[in-house]
Amino acid sequence: MEKTKINITDEVAIHISDMNKWFGNFHVLRDINLEVRRGERIVVCGPSGSGKSTLIRCINRLEEHQKGSIIVDGTELTTDLKNIDKIRSEVGMVFQHFNLFPHLTTLENCTLAPMWVRETPEKEATEIAMEMLEKVKIPEQAHKYPGQLSGGQQQRVAIARSLCMKPRIMLFDEVTSALDPEMIKEVLDTMIQLAEEGMTMICVTHEMGFARQVADRVIFMDDGQIVEQNEPEEFFKNPKSDRTKLFLSQILGH
Amino acid sequence: MMTKIAFVRKKEIPPSAPPITEVGLIGWLRQNLFSSWLNSILTVLSVYFIVVILWDFIPWAYGGHWNTKSLRECLDLDPDVACFSVLTARWKQLLFGLYPAEEYWRPTLTFMFLLLAIVPILFPRFFRFFWFSIIYPGLAVWLLWGGSFWSISIVYIGLTLGALFFLSLIRRYLKNYMVAAILAFLFTVVFFLFISNPLVGLLNVILPISLPFVESLKMGGFTLSLIVGVTGIVASFPIGILLALGRQSNLPVIKMICVGFIEFIRGVPLITLLFVASVLLNYFLPPGTNFDIVLRVVIMVTLFSAAYMAEVIRGGLAGLPLGQHEASASLGLTYWQSQRLIIMPQALKISIPGIVNTFIGLFKDTTLVSIISLRDPVGLASTIRADQKWNGIYWELYVAIGLMFFIFCWGMSQYSQYLERKLKTDK
């Protein structure tokens, strides 16, 4: 399948420079420098504990960084709560464990944030929500509760919920890791579809097939550092560092 | 060559009925009461004890006297049956305490309105007159204590004006909620300090509506239990939520205040607090201040159960996965939006059994006010037994009081079970 490459622009969506983060005494992220263009699709991989989830959680400040700067859509992440809320409403995030709101129906999960954060009228919010549920192919589940859906369906609802905010950037944090194998595909298909529409995406994932198919750039992290980054073709064919080689042999070996 | 077929079914035999020992009454008995030797023995013993108790209780209660003038008279008629005459003679007192007899309609009406005010809160889907629940507290205070209608209404008028002032401020001039809230607060304070009194005076002249004043010491019986219990329940709930949130706050000062308050209140017996309310508070207040005793008790009971409520709700908050906070934050919801829309609805749902437990405890603890000589039903029981006509009566009085408390508490418990079923969303 031919990859669409039309979307990458010169506009900078995320700019991270010299960013460092500690959990107590533990140095989780070291001197991260990363620039993401609008429309770019990035896959972040690496062994567990390498800091890749922490990195993308810093982008919408679910984690606070201690040194360096992160600029998202031209706004720097500081302790200013207003800026943080604004950035969060522009940056969608999908989690490993879905984190749907179990006390609300699928539809309510999707309309809640637009109605309260964007102050969209209920009717309009419902229309958008149905449109997004249609996009992830589960409009018929709109009035069920998350507890009544399968894992794959829940994850697709979670994607739809983020999309309802019309985000400019989407972060995916190991979204298929908690799913049964037969459900991984339906979620990946949704993500591929999004990628083809030109959404700026950063995906932490171990799905190397997905990385090959949609990523513009693959980033390999180990020990809190970006060890290597390259176009997927090159990345998989000619990994430069030994650590990347080791990781790839482990993950692709069987 | 064809193999020889030994058997071919020609017609279908209908399935047999399940054995009689597995279904119906016998099946149920076997499954639930006689499933094992130990179970059977326990069943027989329990039935024996129930029979023994009822054997004595039913004739005692059923044959009870209702219309004698004193306990003496009862004993002369038949000493082995109940003497419910004490209830016939004193039921009004048990319900209303020392409330003036010609004004009994007021607490009665207040109680009926209470049911009306509670219904839309308990069953919001079916009853939608929330406005009545909002005006009810003022209405109840006016009906019970009496006085000028306007001096109660003015509270509502003042608060409504304050709210309108706040709304118009943020609509037109300010986007800053904090400043608008402070200005609106000042406006309300000024209203109550300087404007409300002359306004009430004026309204009293133009349209005098008032009820005879009844002082707090006259309140008693179940009226008092309900005043203290219901106000305590309604007020302690939001305070408990705020304390629970405060205890989890990232702001050290707020956290310290909340933890200190909760631990202090939980570490002190309610009776001590009630004594403080009734006796000690007078020493600290400036001389001549008349701080209503019922109000003081309500405040203490409220604070007491708010501390317990906070811990119950904290349990619910702790039961929520961190992902819920993260998901709502990642959608851009502010702290208060996320608490209100995502966190609290789930935390409260988890805490329903504990919350209702606290409510029931609070309602029964209202009987402790008898210690500081307020006349709740238990306090009245002592008063009644001090009357020489009824001196020596125990069972009839306390059974009746117990039964009334049971009805309320059982109702609360039933409602909580209904609510849990209603809020179940996983299947």
The encoded tokens of residue B421 equal 């079923």
Residues of B in contact with A92 (CB under 8 A): 330
The encoded tokens of residue B74 equal 């009862």
Q: Report angle CA A215, A218, A220 to the nearest 5 degrees.
A: 155
Residue spans of alpha helices (H) in B191-251? 196-206, 221-247
The encoded tokens of residue B218 equal 């006259």
- Pick from B199-203, B266-270, B362-366: least confident: B199-203
State the pLDDT at residue B408: 94
- Which among B377, B240, B231 has a CA at the least distance from the CA of B308? B240
Q: Looking at the predicted structure, is the pLDDT value of residue B1 above 70?
A: no
Q: How far apart, in whole angstroms, are the C-alpha atoms of residue A248 and residue A36?
A: 24
- Which among A95, A145, A187 has a CA at the least distance from the CA of B329? A95
- For B327, the closest of A91, A95, A145 (CB atoms) is A95
- Which among B404, B392, B395, B393 has a CA at the least distance from the CA of B367? B404
Three-state DSSP at A197 gives coil
Residues B324, A93: C-beta atoms closer than 8 Å = no
Residues of B in contact with A99 (CB under 8 A): 321, 323-324, 326-327
When comparing pLDDT for A184 and B373, which is higher? A184
State the pLDDT at residue B81: 86
pTM: 0.84
Contact A70/A58 with Cβ under 8 angstroms?
yes
Q: Looking at the predicted structure, is the pLDDT value of residue B176 above 80?
A: no
Contact A96/B310 with Cβ under 8 angstroms?
no
State the pLDDT at residue B4: 73
Q: Which residue has the tokens 């198919």?
A: A213
Q: How far apart, in whole angstroms, are the C-alpha atoms of residue A199 and residue A92?
A: 11
Q: Compute the Cα dihedral for B325, B331, B334, B337 and give only its sign.
A: negative
**A·B CB contacts under 8 A:** 74
The encoded tokens of residue A248 equal 């790839």
Residues of B in contact with A147 (CB under 8 A): 425-427
User: CB burial class (10 A; 0-12, 13-18, 19+) of residue B192?
Assistant: middle
State the pLDDT at residue A1: 45
Tens of pLDDT along chain A (254 residues)? 455 555 677 788 999 999 999 999 999 999 999 999 998 999 999 998 899 999 999 999 999 999 999 999 888 888 888 888 889 989 999 999 999 999 999 999 999 999 999 999 999 999 999 999 999 999 999 999 999 999 999 999 999 999 999 999 999 999 999 898 888 999 999 999 998 888 999 999 988 989 998 899 999 999 999 999 999 999 999 889 999 999 988 887 65
Q: How far is CA B79 from CA A148, B12, B46, in A?
A: 64, 72, 29
The encoded tokens of residue A95 equal 């989690």
Our CA-based measurement puts residue A105 at a distance from the nearest CA of chain B, in whole angstroms, of 9
Residues B331, A97: C-beta atoms closer than 8 Å = no
Q: Looking at the predicted structure, is the pLDDT value of residue B36 above 80?
A: yes
- Please check whether residue B349 touches A, CB under 8 A: yes
The encoded tokens of residue B25 equal 């009454």
Beta bridge partners of A27: A22
The pLDDT of B105-111, averaged and rounded, is 94
- Please check whether residue B16 touches A, CB under 8 A: no
Q: Looking at the predicted structure, is the pLDDT value of residue B317 above 60?
A: yes
Q: How far apart, in whole angstroms, are the C-alpha atoms of residue B244 and residue B347?
A: 11
Buried b or exposed e, range B62-75, using 16+ CB within 10 angstroms: eebbeebebbeebe
- What DSSP line would sit under B258-285, residue for residue? HHHHHHHHHTS-HHHHHHIIIIIHHHHS
Residues of A in contact with B342 (CB under 8 A): 101
What are B123-167's pLDDT values in tens digits? 988 888 888 999 999 999 999 998 888 888 889 999 999 999 888
State the pLDDT at residue B2: 59
State the pLDDT at residue A254: 52
Residues of B in contact with A158 (CB under 8 A): 327
- Please check whether residue A190 touches B, CB under 8 A: no
- Which among A56, A44, A31 has a CA at the least distance from the CA of A216? A44
Contact B321/A99 with Cβ under 8 angstroms?
yes
Residues A102, B426: C-beta atoms closer than 8 Å = yes
Residues A89, B423: C-beta atoms closer than 8 Å = no
- What residue type is assigned to position B209 of the chain? I
Q: How far apart, in whole angstroms, are the C-alpha atoms of residue A33 and residue A18?
A: 6
- Which among B373, B216, B377, B366 has a CA at the least distance from the CA of B279? B373
Q: How far apart, in whole angstroms, are the C-alpha atoms of residue B191 and residue B201?
A: 14
Report strand pairing: A67-72 vs A75-76: antiparallel
Our CA-based measurement puts residue A254 at a distance from the nearest CA of chain B, in whole angstroms, of 32
Contact B413/B356 with Cβ under 8 angstroms?
yes
- Please check whether residue A89 touches B, CB under 8 A: yes
State the pLDDT at residue B3: 67
- Please check whether residue A145 touches B, CB under 8 A: yes
The encoded tokens of residue A253 equal 């070996």
Residues of A in contact with B352 (CB under 8 A): none
State the pLDDT at residue A253: 64
- Please check whether residue A156 touches B, CB under 8 A: no
Q: Which residue of B has its CA nearest to A118?
A: B332
State the pLDDT at residue A6: 56
User: CB burial class (10 A; 0-12, 13-18, 19+) of residue B291?
Assistant: exposed
Residues of A in contact with B324 (CB under 8 A): 99, 101
State the pLDDT at residue B239: 96
Whole-number average pLDDT of chain B? 88
The pLDDT of B33-42, averaged and rounded, is 88
Cross-sheet strand order for the sheet of A200-204: A91-94, A169-173, A200-204, A41-45, A217-222, A225-230
Which of B251, B325, B330 to mutate against chain A (most A CBs within 10 Å)?
Answer: B330
- Please check whether residue B175 touches A, CB under 8 A: no
Report strand pairing: A75-76 vs B147-148: unpaired
- Pick from B200-214, B240-254, B303-317: least confident: B200-214
Residues of B in contact with A116 (CB under 8 A): 333, 337, 341
Report how many helices (DSSP H) and strands (DSSP E) chain B contains, helices first. 19, 2
Contact B239/B309 with Cβ under 8 angstroms?
yes
Which of B251, B331, B337, B351 to mutate against chain A (most A CBs within 10 Å)?
Answer: B331
Q: Looking at the predicted structure, is the pLDDT value of residue B361 above 60?
A: yes
The DSSP call for residue B341 is I
Q: Which pairs count as long-range contacts for A125-131, CB under 8 Å and 24+ apart, including other chains? A: A125/A164, A128/A164, A128/A166, A129/A160, A129/A164
- Please check whether residue A4 touches B, CB under 8 A: no
Q: How far apart, in whole angstroms, are the C-alpha atoms of residue B187 and residue B199?
A: 16
Residues B330, A62: C-beta atoms closer than 8 Å = yes
Q: How far apart, in whole angstroms, are the C-alpha atoms of residue B214 and residue A213?
A: 81
The encoded tokens of residue A241 equal 């560092």
State the pLDDT at residue B285: 73
Residues B346, A93: C-beta atoms closer than 8 Å = no
Three-state DSSP at B50 gives helix
Q: What percent of chain B has pLDDT over 90?
A: 47
- Please check whether residue A91 touches B, CB under 8 A: yes
- What residue type is assigned to position B319 of the chain? G
Residues A89, B346: C-beta atoms closer than 8 Å = no
Q: How far apart, in whole angstroms, are the C-alpha atoms of residue A205 and residue A219?
A: 11
Between helix B130-145 and helix B221-247 the angle, nearest 10°, is 130
Element (H, E) at A243: helix A242-252
- For A147, the closest of B328, B333, B426 (CB atoms) is B426
The pLDDT of B405-418, averaged and rounded, is 94
